[in-house]
Structure 1
Amino acid sequence: MMINRRSLLRTGGVAAAGALGTAAALSSPAKAAGPAPHAHAPGSADPDPTAGVTRTLLQEQPSPAEGWEAVQTLVRIPRRKESGRHSHPGVEVGYIVQGDVVMEFDDGPSLRLRTGDPFFIPDGVIHNARNVGKVTTMMLSTYVVDETKPLVTTY
């Protein structure tokens, strides 16, 4: 099934994840403005560690390589939240605009990133960005991906 990335990026919630199978449910930008809807006591498990995470589509362009496209997003991760384990069907080149994250990888050591740090995630690598700072983390992420596959696959 062909998925329009622009629609996917504007679709939020668990219903979108169910409808798209392994494609990620990406929240709408409007959800980023308010506080996280699930407050929990320190030390208790967060019932929704990805609540409030948004990916805003900035641009989508064909790549010079046939069958590939470049997609750029602004990712916002609220305090004490995380992106969730996921991968992309191509590379991600990113920059931490604001905040502090620990980038966790299934197949390697974690990487601590702070405001001003660049990062690179290879094709298909499963990763999770966890906000460990005191402010909402903002990441500029540019993907060069297979245009026939969902931008994000969750695990």
Structure 2
Amino acid sequence: MSRTRILTAAALLAVAGLSQAQDVKPHSKAAHASWQKGIQRTDLTRHDLEVPGYEAIQVRVDFEPGIASPRHSHPGAEVAYVIAGTFEYKLAGRAPVILKAGESLFIPAGTPHVATNIGKDKASELATYIVDKRQPLLKLEE
């Protein structure tokens, strides 16, 4: 399947948003994981795609005020949708972008980036990934 179809699938999954959360197992230990201090990830759904070797993953990520993610990348595209609060996203090679609740951002495969909660309250994003499942979901970048 072509890259265009993969990217189209990413966009459709972002629009579907939280409606895919029916696959959540909220009481499983794996559903809630602390990525680093001040950041809480909640796994929502994970499904194989029709594209061999690719899967869709959706997680909710909550950031305490002033907290930034480590600089990282993913082995596929990410669509970040801001559920609450205000984020600044810094993508390699681009000017910083500020997004508020209801806004979204497409992050191309392999692009190093940092998300920072620049608001005074907790901020949350819905991250939808279309990734190569044979690779780790997250790669820390320098």
TM-score range, shorter chain: 0.7 to 0.9
Contact 2:77-2:108 at 8 Å conserved across structures: yes
Aligned residues: 113
User: Structure 1 stretches (4+) deviating beyond 2 angstroms?
Assistant: 9-12
Tell me if the contact between 2:43 and 2:58 (Cα under 8 Å) persists in the aligned partners: yes
User: What is the CA distance between 1:11 and its match in structure 2?
Assistant: 9.8
* Distance apart, 1:64 and its partner CA: 1.2
TM-score between the two structures when normalised by the length of structure 1: 0.68
Q: Take 2:79 and 2:96, find their aligned partners in 1: how far apart are those partners? A: 17
What is the rounded CA distance, in whole Å, between the counterparts of 2:76 and 2:105 in structure 1?
14
The C-alpha deviation readout for 1:6-49, integer Å capped at 9, x for no partner, is xxx9499xxxxxxxxxxxxx617xxxxxxxxxxxxxxxxxxxxx
Name the counterpart of 1:115: 101
Q: Which amino acid aligns with 1:118?
A: S
Higher strand share: 2
For 2:69 and 2:85, the matched residues in 1 are separated by 14
Q: For 1:51 and 1:107, how far apart are their aligned partners in 2?
A: 27
1:63 aligns with 2:70: no
**Tell me, which stretches of 5 or more residues in structure 1 are unaligned?**
1-8, 13-25, 29-49
Q: TM-score, normalised by structure 2?
A: 0.74
How much does 1:106 deviate? 2.1
| C-alpha RMSD of matched pairs (Å) | 2.0
Which of 136, 147, 150 aligns to 2:122? It is 136
* 1:127 paired to 2:100: no
Q: Is the 8 A contact 1:103 1:111 kept in 2?
A: yes
- Structure 2 unaligned blocks of 5 or more: 1-28
Aligned pairs (5 A) from 1:86-101: 86-101=72-87
Point out the structure with the larger helix share.
2
Aligned-pair identity in percent equals 35
Give the direction of change, closer, same or farther, for the CA distance of 1:68–1:98 in structure 2 (3 Å limit): same
